[in-house]
Amino acid sequence: MSTLKDRLRADLTTAIKARDDVRSSTLRMVLTAVTNAEVAGKVAKELTDDEVLTVLASEAKKRREAAVAFEEGDRPEMAAKERAETAVLQDYLPEQLGPDEIAAIVSAAVEKLGAAGAGPKAMGQVMGIVQPQVKGRADGAAVAAEVRRQLG
């Protein structure tokens, strides 16, 4: 049994009792996404904490992208709602890495491979080393941009 999933359920109950609408609706949405991930595929299975974190990260990314789209569409009230949901999801995700930390991890991987100045053809190898280290703690686009910058 996933302890993170248990925590989400317990926090949902607390949020409902406290009449915290944003938190309770966000947690319901996440638990639904987790359930959908569990029954996806040929055989239903219980998700591990890492798999639940992947679902949480995916949902948080959707909210961030939706907030940007609403801002561009001149819908600030909807953008604010998406940002509030993102804030709730951030409570369950690991601490995000800053740009300096991402740069340090990428430069260590580039050094390890001896890929400095190798250009874009070494990107896949570098990303293969970096991704497991930053999984769930950094946006993939930010990591890829830093790899491109260092290999360029």
pLDDT digit string (tens) for the chain, length 152 residues: 568 899 999 999 999 999 999 999 999 999 999 999 999 888 889 988 888 988 998 899 899 999 999 999 999 999 999 999 999 999 998 888 888 888 888 888 888 887 676 677 878 888 888 888 888 788 788 888 888 888 77
Residue 102 contacts residue 73 (beta carbons within 8 Å) = no
Q: How far apart are CA 115 and CA 5, in angstroms?
A: 41
* pLDDT at site 64: 92
CB neighbour list of residue 45: distance below 8 Å, 6 or more residues apart? 38
Residue 134 contacts residue 102 (beta carbons within 8 Å) = yes
* pLDDT at site 117: 66
* pLDDT at site 84: 95
Query: Could you tell me which of 49, 52, 22 has the C-alpha nearest to residue 34?
Result: 52
Query: Could you tell me which of 137, 45, 51 has the C-alpha nearest to residue 30?
Result: 51
* pLDDT at site 96: 83
Give the chain's domains with CATH numbers.
3-90 (1.10.1510.10), 99-151 (1.10.10.410)
Residue 119 contacts residue 152 (beta carbons within 8 Å) = yes
Q: Summarize the chain as % helix, strand, coil (round to 5).
A: 75, 0, 25
* pLDDT at site 36: 94
> pTM score > 0.95 for this model?
no
DSSP structure class, residue 94: P
